[in-house]
Amino acid sequence: MKIENALPEGYQLHQYSIAKTIGGGGFSIVYLARNGQNGQWVVIKEYLPDKQAARVDGESVETLSHTTASTFNTGMKRFFDEAMALSKINHPNIVRVTDFFRENNTVYMVMNYEDGKDLRFYIKRHNGRMTEKFIRTVFPQLLQGLRELHDHNLLHLDIKPANVYLRPGGSPLLLDFGAAQSSFVNERRALPHTLTRGFAPIEQHTRGHIGPWTDLYAVGATMWACLCGKAPPPATKRAEKDTYKPAVRQFSSYYSRELLEAIDWCLQMDQLSRPQKVDALLDALNKPPSAPPEPEPLIERLKQKLPWGG
């Protein structure tokens, strides 16, 4: 993958040898690398906001101007602090941060490399319509990892299908903490950062009062994408005119009422109307369905197989 400002293949960064660039844009560049000490593959994230800084002479990162220097340095300190906090978390459903350091006038975060595919792959393959069993298997595990994050006073702030990684066997891993920040400082107001339309609640767009409920909106939006293959309407559009149709009305033929009510609960615009803590949502998801959904009528199944969808 060719990304401007990326370190070249073969570059030696401490004991890590860069194999290739695997992602980037916005606030960071992500590499696949090999640890020369034990031969294991790792993922390295480099702090490099492309609107504030650039690579100089193939190595060092320099700010674009004096006006961007302050923002760059503030962001770099936050990136380092969050890497330090994440390195203390060891949970099977949270990507493991094994090392972090300063180099090239920026900061690097080193994480375990895992085999698998992100949730986008499965949603696209099935055009949504993930089974209820799948959702009830994956998301409680994911929420247990998120609870561990919240217990360390951290918010993720960018939960979406691309950041939910499914390993062989289906065990989920929460990825990409580029937007993560301490949840109980700065009057709980989100600092400027990237967000994903459709998955971010209104308080992230308006720099409002953030907390665990902010991540839980994104969890609900990610579950919604598992039902229909796309994100709910963006929160900014919903604030103007809410076109969101409750899951209990749209998907009652395919999923239990308990599951659909949990998703609608997460996607409330009013943050006080959402689950306030992970455990509340876990309790809702762990309730057994009162009755299985009605079998899908044969005519509806046949319509779905037509190229125009009926």
AA identity, residue 31: Y
Give the integer Cα–Cα distance in Å for 49 and 26: 6
Number of H helices, E strands in the chain: 10, 13
- Residue 71's CB is within 10 A of a number of other CB atoms, namely 15
Which sign does the torsion angle of CA 73, 190, 154, 123 carry?
negative
Buried b (16+ CB within 10 A) or exposed e, 150-170: beeebbbbbbbbbbbbbeeee
C-beta separation of 171 from 137 below 8 A: no
CA distances from 89 to 17, 83, 154 (A): 25, 10, 11
Which sign does the torsion angle of CA 233, 239, 245, 246 carry?
positive
Q: Is 117 annotated as a binding residue?
A: no
Which sign does the torsion angle of CA 202, 205, 209, 211 carry?
positive
Give the integer Cα–Cα distance in Å for 156 and 134: 23
Phi first, then psi: give them for residue 301, nearest 5 degrees. Answer: -65, -40
CA 248 to chain CA centroid, nearest Å: 25
C-beta separation of 159 from 218 below 8 A: yes
Give the integer Cα–Cα distance in Å for 296 and 152: 44
Torsion of CA 240, 246, 251, 257, to 10 degrees: 160
Annotated binding-site residue numbers for ATP: 45
Annotated binding-site residue numbers: 45
